[in-house]
Amino acid sequence: MIMIVLLTFSAAAAWMGRYTAEPAKSYPRSMAGSVVPIVVGYAVAHYATLLIVEGQRTAINFSDPLSREWNVFGSAEMGVNSAIFNHPMAIALIQLLSIIGGHIAAIVVAHEKAVQLLPPDRALVGQWPMLAVMVGYTCAGLVLLFLITTAFHVWTNPLRSLLAVSRDSYAAGMTETPATRELDITLERNSPIPLYYQLAQSIEDAINTGTLAPGDRLENELSLTSRLGLSRPTARQAIQELVKKGMLVRKRGVGTQVVRSQFRRDERLSSFNEDLAKAGKVPGTRLLEYEVGELDEESRDSIDAENVTGDGETFIKIRRLRLADDVPLAILTNYLPSHFDITAADLSTKGLYACLRSIGVNLKIGHERISARLMTEEEAELLEAETPAACLTVDRIAYDDVGQFVEFGRHMYHAAHYSIQSSLVV
């Protein structure tokens, strides 16, 4: 294709030498600049959407180029806006106008250059071959643009079907179920939306609809690219987009896994057990510690124990591992005055606040302090997290409807699976 363009352009430019005293071989070089608008038009058509998205990412990273949590230009907290991919007709129009505009500009530049080089009485007849070549390039470019994309789409459909049949036949002879999940993904090759974005959207939809469940492993890049006829950079970019959204995670030796969605909890005095049930999750409890004794010095200072309970009061210490759908979510440690009749057996079947209600305690108000830190090795082991891992900590003091102290809670939540949301008003 490049050779055809080179030969036709050189022949049309050399034709102009028939009407001047200059050697014909000098004209292709003199007219070469008229091809530049065509090159620019195709560059915009092919890379405009990439430049829009990656240009934003570059501007964002420019505020913190060394990943030191800087925000030099105020753009580090911004996100990439990929809304343009939701308008395929607009993208197609940009591509089409870029190509046509580039060709029209090339025709104008070639005409102006020819007028400068040719004698006035030969300017019209001398530039006809170049005009014909430029118009031919425009028509050929548009025809090829539509024919190639359509033919490639038609050709890849049976190929994908053949690959799917071969894969299913191979899987039927296996005795073990594959450890990874393969999605039924259809990509529109003739769509102006980039393939990596289509792939990312398909995987995201599978996660949102439950086709891919938390903990499921995605097929590896090599399998994904072979099955869908993609390049590895395209598949890698799609997966990386979902990693940045917090929907997938890459683990060495494991592969790419679906991340469990966060449990979001309103900032109010409520039962953790009941909040989990309302969120559609199955709550679980593992009692780690239950003992009656005096408070340690730090806990006594936190609740001002002598003033709220009286001197010499003993406390029940309850330490539990809380789970949601069998996934470790939090380690809750609570201290209650020992006169409350709550046993370890009660806590194995009910939540703490349900136990308190059953003995006539009505919680009315609580005060919380929320902070963050890194997990200890013991906490990380209980929550099945790899260190270093972040956690949210909540210290809560709760009182009943007559203002009496009820409990002091020191709770620790896995930050990757838990968040607290609150409403703010002016």
Q: What is the span of the domain harbouring residue 417?
A: 265-421
Task: Give the total number of structural domains in the chain.
Answer: 3
Per DSSP, helices labelled H in 16-78 are 27-31, 36-62
| Co-location of 94 and 228 in the same domain | no
59, 76 in Cβ contact below 8 A?
A: no
394, 268 in Cβ contact below 8 A?
A: no
* Sign, Cα dihedral of 356, 325, 415, 262: negative
| Co-location of 307 and 364 in the same domain | yes
Q: Is residue 100 part of a domain?
A: yes
| Co-location of 247 and 305 in the same domain | no
Q: How far is CA 64 from CA 61, 75, 121, 303, 405, in A?
A: 5, 9, 62, 42, 48
- In degrees and rounded to multiples of 5, residue 186 shows phi and psi of -115, 125
**CATH number (domain holding residue 238):** 1.10.10.10
| Co-location of 129 and 201 in the same domain | no
363, 398 in Cβ contact below 8 A?
A: yes
CA 138 to chain centre: 39
Say what the pLDDT of residue 156 is.
47
Q: Is residue 213 part of a domain?
A: yes
Say what the pLDDT of residue 180 is.
67
| Co-location of 92 and 186 in the same domain | no
Say what the pLDDT of residue 178 is.
35
Q: Is residue 252 part of a domain?
A: yes
This prediction's pTM: 0.42
How crowded is residue 354: how many other Cβ atoms within 10 Å of its Cβ? 14
Q: Is residue 85 part of a domain?
A: yes
**CATH number (domain holding residue 338):** 3.40.1410.10
Look up tokens 């996660």; give the residue.
207
How many Å apart are CA 203 and CA 248, to the nearest integer?
A: 10
Stretches in the chain below the pLDDT threshold 50: 152, 156, 159-178
Among 258, 287, 316, which residue terminates a domain?
258
Among 243, 258, 273, which residue terminates a domain?
258
- Which residues, including other chains, have CB under 8 Å from residue 10's CB and lie 6 or more apart? 28
| Co-location of 149 and 233 in the same domain | no
| Co-location of 211 and 317 in the same domain | no
| Co-location of 284 and 412 in the same domain | yes
| Co-location of 153 and 9 in the same domain | yes
Q: Which one, of 340, 323, 321, 339, lies nearest residue 331 by Cα?
A: 321
Among 200, 233, 258, which residue terminates a domain?
258
| Co-location of 193 and 280 in the same domain | no
| Co-location of 215 and 277 in the same domain | no
| Co-location of 111 and 182 in the same domain | no
